[in-house]
Amino acid sequence: MGKNRHWVAAWLMFLSLAFMAGCGEYGKVDQGRVIKFDKDKQLVTIIRDVKEDPNNPDYSHLPPITYELPKNPDDVGADPKAGLRMKLDAKNKEIVLFDPVSGGFKTLHYTLLDQKENLSKDDPLIKDKKFPLVDREKKTITIFSGRQKLLVTFSVPDEYFSLPDSAWEAGDEARFYYKEDGKALRYMNVSKTDIFKK
């Protein structure tokens, strides 16, 4: 309950600041997982969360959506981390990845090697380590889901080890306030906002 209250408070704060940023009509808010960030052009591409539930997101909206970040640095949050992992389904041993080539999703069934649950980011198994850990010699991939508090080591068919490490990374959650499609008036990196850290 406490986490939800924090989420609602931050959401309302973001909306109120966004409304004050523009005069007249209210704009819109969009949110999703970052799959690409062009720092030079200040463009962020996301897969929209169609559920808008912070505890149970659903990154399945296609096509991806690109936003140009605001020019005013006061309206821009921390740079986002991009990744292609949309979902980790530990129950069914599946991972859903966004495929930039086809523009769609791929669902991979993995072979579970190890799984540890209820881990915080301060756990010795997690702290000071950079995930995903991809070992192409041993054919293993280890990822940590902070939202699910899961540390999972698994293997996939050989051809998938040619993918870049970022394929197994969950991109940051980004939120945009806008009035004109594709042009953000305000941008928040939800994943790097303190009250959202779990």
What are phi and psi for residue 160, nearest 5 degrees? -80, -10
**Sequence letter at residue 60:** S
Are the beta carbons of 93 and 108 closer than 8 angstroms?
no
Please list, in sequence order, all residues whose beta carbon lies within 8 angstroms of the beta carbon of residue 23, skipping any fewer than 6 positions away: none
The stretches of the chain forming alpha helices (DSSP H) are 2-21
Query: What per-residue confidence (pLDDT) applies to 195?
Result: 44
pTM of the model: 0.82
Query: What per-residue confidence (pLDDT) applies to 10?
Result: 54
Q: Work out the number of other CB atoms within 10 angstroms of the CB of residue 106.
A: 16
Q: What is the mean pLDDT of the chain?
A: 87
Comparing 25 with 112, the larger pLDDT belongs to 112
Q: How many Å apart are CA 85 and CA 124, to the nearest integer? A: 24
CA 90 to chain centre: 17
Query: What per-residue confidence (pLDDT) applies to 22?
Result: 47
Per residue in 42-91, pLDDT tens? 999 999 999 877 778 899 999 999 999 999 999 999 999 999 999 999 99
Per residue in 113-146, pLDDT tens? 999 999 988 899 998 899 999 999 999 999 999 8
Please state the domain extents for the chain. 2-82+171-196, 85-168
**Any idea which fold 2-82+171-196 has?**
OB fold (Dihydrolipoamide Acetyltransferase, E2P) (2.40.50)
Q: How many Å apart are CA 162 and CA 32, to the nearest integer? A: 26
- Token digits for 183? 């042009």
**Sequence letter at residue 183:** K
Query: What per-residue confidence (pLDDT) applies to 194?
Result: 52
> How does strand 111-116 pair with strand 85-89?
unpaired
Comparing 35 with 9, the larger pLDDT belongs to 35
Look at residue 81 and give its three-state secondary structure. coil
